[in-house]
Amino acid sequence: MTIPNEFRALVVRETRDNQFVRSIEQKKIADLPDGDVVVQVLYTSLNYKDVLSATGNRGVTRNYPHTPGIDAAGIVVDSATEAFKPGDEVIVTSYDLGMNTAGGFGQYIRVPAGWVVAKPKGLAAFEAMIYGTAGFTAALSVWNMIENGVAPEDGAVLVSGATGGVGGIAVSILAKLGYSVTAVNGVVDETDYLKRIGAQNVISIQDANDTSGRPLLKSLWAGGIDTVGGDILATTIKSTHYGATVTCCGNVASADLPLNVYPFILRGVRLIGIDSQNCPMPIRQKIWQKIASEWKIDWLQTITTEASFDQLNDKIDRMLQGKHVGRTIIKMAD
């Protein structure tokens, strides 16, 4: 396969007065970090973590200049390992991609072979990026909830941050699997959208956040998929049925968890932490297979906006301003 001398990448640079500026620059393959596999990125997606990386958050990216993008789907163009050969269609998400390793906001990436997943049949590169890290995390959350025994007939499942990427895909997968889903809205009322993607009921952030301080609340949920943390996660844990499972993957509301032990010792509630970044490869492959087959959402387009590489900067700004709904996919090839 032909590898171009130069390609385009979004580069974030730190100025002398500690501002972070973004622009599309020309790069060479030699500029990429060491690795086994060079991938031409066909599509990438926009995640909250990318916005943090693109705006100088040192918790995500230590050193600048840097190219963010924690998700990439594309074609192998060069490989130093027998596990992959030029022409293979692959997905690369998680690990260090886009954090301290130049990521999917460049038209080419070079990564260790251990980060690369062969794209399952039944999922186009574009569709793989509709899921991306957000969809993978949603599916991993649902899988953990199911593995811990929550079945559709047990009752309703609460999903927080449902207007966002992780929450929205979790709502959709759960609905496809026959669960009754109650979705927590965002700041703007998106009830119609949430019902379109599979929520049976929609509640407001205020309704999902109990301020009484009581250690246990009325038992409402058979399970919970939390993407926001803080008071909403604490309220969810206090409001579950006996033996319910709640997963926790995010902290957009807060990293704190104001709670005591009563839901755990009186109701046997299970709180399962979700980490997509270092999820072991066998589980990772299993989850991608499910995404590509029996868990594939029939209404993927409903949650998706496609944008060109040149629109990426603007899309980052929109997510920063809280004007982003669902999933944004960026077409990287010229």
Q: Is 145 in the site for ligand NAP (CB under 6 A)?
A: no
**Contact pick of 167, 198, 223, 224 for ligand NAP (by CB under 6 A):** 167
- List the beta strands (DSSP E) in the chain: 6-14, 20-28, 37-45, 71-79, 89-93, 108-111, 116-118, 157-159, 181-184, 201-203, 221-226, 240-248, 270-273, 304-308, 327-331
Residue 125: its H or E element: helix 125-147
* By CB under 6 A, residue 132 contacts ligand NAP: no
Residues in contact with ligand NAP, counted by CB under 6 A, come to a total of: 29
* Of positions 227, 239, 245, 247, contacts ligand NAP by CB under 6 A: 227
Least separation in angstroms between CB 9 and ligand NAP = 22
Residues in the chain: 334
Q: How far is the CB of 85 from ligand NAP (least distance, A)?
A: 30
Ranges within 273-312 binding ligand NAP (CB under 6 A): 274-277
Q: Is 54 exposed, middle or buried (0-12, 13-18, 19+ CB in 10 A)?
A: buried
In this chain, which of 15, 59, 178, 187 binds ligand NAP, going by CB under 6 A? 187
Q: With binding defined as CB under 6 A, does residue 257 bind ligand NAP?
A: no
Instruction: Decide whether 252 or 332 has the Cβ nearer to ligand NAP.
Output: 252
Asked if 224 interacts with ligand NAP (CB under 6 A), we say: no
Q: Which stretch binds ligand NAP (CB under 6 A): 79-87, 122-130, 172-180, 247-255?
A: 247-255
Q: Which of residues 76-95 bind ligand NAP (CB under 6 A)?
A: none
Least distance CB 136 / ligand NAP (angstroms): 8
C-beta neighbour count of 205 within 10 angstroms: 16
Tell me the C-alpha distance between 31 and 206, whole Å: 48
List phi, psi (to 5°) of 241.
Answer: -70, 165
The answer to whether 41 and 108 have CB atoms below 8 angstroms apart is yes
Write each residue from 97 to 116 as x if it is in contact with ligand NAP (CB under 6 A), else as -, in one continuous string: --------------------
Amino acid letter, 276: S
Cβ atoms 75, 39 nearer than 8 A: yes
**In the complex, minimum distance from the CB of residue 98 to ligand NAP, in angstroms, rounded to a whole number:** 12
* CA angle 306–307–313, rounded 5-degree value: 140
Query: Which residues are near ligand NAP by CB under 6 A?
Result: 47-49, 133-134, 137, 161-167, 186-187, 205, 227-228, 232, 249-253, 274-277, 322
